[in-house]
Structure 1
Amino acid sequence: MKISMLMENTTEIPGFLQEHGLSLYIETKGHHILFDTGQTEGFAKNARRMGIDLQQADIMILSHGHYDHSGGMMHFLKCNSDAPIYLRASALEPHFSPAGKEIGVNPAIGLCGRLHFIKDNFSFEDGMRLITLDEENGEDKISAYGFSALCGGKKVPDDFRHEQYLEIRENGKNILFSGCSHKGIWNIVHQLHPDVLIGGFHFKDLPLNTTGKRMLDAEAERLMKENTVYYTCHCTGLEQYRYLKAIMGDRLHYLSAGQTVEIG
């Protein structure tokens, strides 16, 4: 399996674009999958630099309903004429940042005619499935982080029922993809036990003061209890990543725009 980071907050390669967002291109034995689109068409420009033809994508998956993962979707519709798009129905509802700014999906996406709405866990052929984790079975209580959603005309704390995770089983390994892990990275890993996890940990707003470091110490200890190798990015935060890396060593890596990783 080859995984290419089309868009991320950072890049180490001259000529590649970066922005606050996430987009991955996943090449398996049977599929070419676009996982999120960043917030602009920059993911497509980076794809061209990497020799990736987005018309070859046969599936697109939206991890959740925030602009920094969905903003390039309209451009993808121009680049790709027929790939079905899988998302949660609630991903199209209005969503707001802690500051009250609307950060949801462009409503025009709802008119494209290629959407497949996921209510519960959904299995593809070839050992792939989308997982919702809607039931609060994790050890940690889900936090809204100050995000909100519109429900019945009123803003309510976001429960992230617009979030989903992609699991691919290939060559005897279970690889899990998460956009921002709003439901808690430990909740996700502890329930699904992936061999490899790729995605954001949502630690970027956690201050590296004494309390924050203690929280990261505890999280690193828990994450290392699982036999998982982690490739993180985007909402983890660079400072938070470096702190975790010093603890987790070769169990934790960072993927920035233009980089690839092969898992076999």
Structure 2
Amino acid sequence: MPNRLEVTVLVENQPLGRGLLGEHGLAFHLRADGREVLFDTGQGLALAHNAEALGIDLAALGTVVLSHGHYDHAGGLPLVLARCGPADVYLHRAALAAKFNRDGKDIGAPAAALAALGAARVHEVAAPTEILPGLYASGPVPRRHAFEDTGGPFYRDPGKVEEDPVTDDQALYALLPEGVVVLLGCCHAGVVNTLDYIGELTGGQPVHAVIGGTHLLRAGEERLARTADLLARLDVRLLAPNHCTGLNAQCYLRRRFPDRYAEAPAGTRFVFGKAG
């Protein structure tokens, strides 16, 4: 497992303060024992600016992981790969497919992002995959809880004939001395489905932190309550939902977990593991 993990929210809807940009998107910069990973890339509008402002050198990246193929997570790929060269890129093959929202609008990875992958070392993630020692991509998450949905509907065609279950959705998780740290892109598979699956993969190791997008934007009271009940049962010590969580869900979770809840706008940094 990593001795130390630094997680910086590089792109998010809101900036932490002056000098940073917000955009509808998400990107995390990870530094694990001196090695650097980018989890998602945002739309690509704020990425370079925020990286420079936060002292993060995109050229030092060796690995990029995509949570799924929506534009607000994959749009920055051309910029990232232009800066760091032929990096290892981990994604599910469905991340490359066409994607549309409830209005028939194209929300898939931009053509430039797909083209940029031609110069990368692409690894298709079809099952849990170790990215670095102790750092894993979950791969596709089994959908076992019927009360959770994708937060859509989403579609595979502009005519909205074929619904898209967002099978490419995956989380990133790290095994650390404090417990498991889970990073979520949009969590279209559902928070409960995802945490249940990661618990299965880790043999029930305690979950220390859950950070990222939860797509509870349109969740009703029952789903919010059942999600919070699981977080309570898992005794999660740090909960930092952002991006697509939605204000109502954020307020609900803050009320349920007042001492464990943290904001996570662009510029926020979390440090886990041993100091130094």
TM-score computed with the length of structure 2 as normaliser: 0.85
The 3-state SS of whatever aligns with 1:235 is: coil
Pick aligned residue for 1:115 from 111, 122, 137: 122
Which residue does 2:33 correspond to in 1?
Answer: 29
1:64-75 aligned at under 5 Å gives the runs 64-75=68-79
Which residue does 1:248 correspond to in 2?
Answer: 257
How far did 1:245 drift? 0.2
Which residue does 1:225 correspond to in 2?
Answer: 233
1:197-212 aligned at under 5 Å gives the runs 197-206=210-219, 212=220
Which residue does 2:202 correspond to in 1?
Answer: none
Single out whichever of 141-150 and 160-169 deviates more from structure 2.
141-150
2: CA distance, partners of 1:166 / 1:63 = 8
Which residue does 1:129 correspond to in 2?
Answer: 136
Which residue does 1:192 correspond to in 2?
Answer: 198
2:97 equivalent to 1:84: no
The 3-state SS of whatever aligns with 1:91 is: helix
The 3-state SS of whatever aligns with 2:169 is: coil
How many residues align? The count is 258
Single out whichever of 91-100 and 118-127 deviates more from structure 2.
118-127
How far did 1:82 drift? 3.0
Letter in 2 for 1:217: A
Are the equivalent residues in 1 in contact too, given 2:178–2:272 (CA < 8 A)? no
The 3-state SS of whatever aligns with 2:16 is: coil
Are the equivalent residues in 2 in contact too, given 1:144–1:158 (CA < 8 A)? no
How far did 1:57 drift? 1.3
Are the equivalent residues in 2 in contact too, given 1:7–1:23 (CA < 8 A)? yes
How far did 1:166 drift? 1.3
1:2-13 aligned at under 5 Å gives the runs 2-13=6-17
The 3-state SS of whatever aligns with 2:20 is: coil
Q: Which runs of 5+ in 1 are unaligned?
A: 207-211
Which residue does 2:266 correspond to in 1?
Answer: 257
Which residue does 1:209 correspond to in 2?
Answer: none
| 1:40-76 Cα deviation digits (max 9, x unpaired) | 2411210110011011112110110000001111111
How far did 1:99 drift? 1.3
Letter in 1 for 2:115: A
The root-mean-square deviation of aligned C-alpha atoms, in Å, is 2.2
How far did 1:147 drift? 0.7
How far did 1:160 drift? 1.5
Single out whichever of 40-49 and 213-222 deviates more from structure 2.
213-222
TM-score computed with the length of structure 1 as normaliser: 0.89
The 3-state SS of whatever aligns with 1:100 is: coil
Query: Using a 3 Å threshold, how does the CA distance of structure 1 residues 217 and 137 change in structure 2: closer, same or farther?
Result: closer
2:55 equivalent to 1:51: yes
How far did 1:140 drift? 4.1
| 1:219-247 Cα deviation digits (max 9, x unpaired) | 32232111223221100023421222012
Aligned identity (percent) is 31
Which residue does 2:64 correspond to in 1?
Answer: 60
1: CA distance, partners of 2:195 / 2:170 = 13
1: CA distance, partners of 2:134 / 2:245 = 28
| 1:108-127 Cα deviation digits (max 9, x unpaired) | 23423432211222224412
Which residue does 2:108 correspond to in 1?
Answer: 104
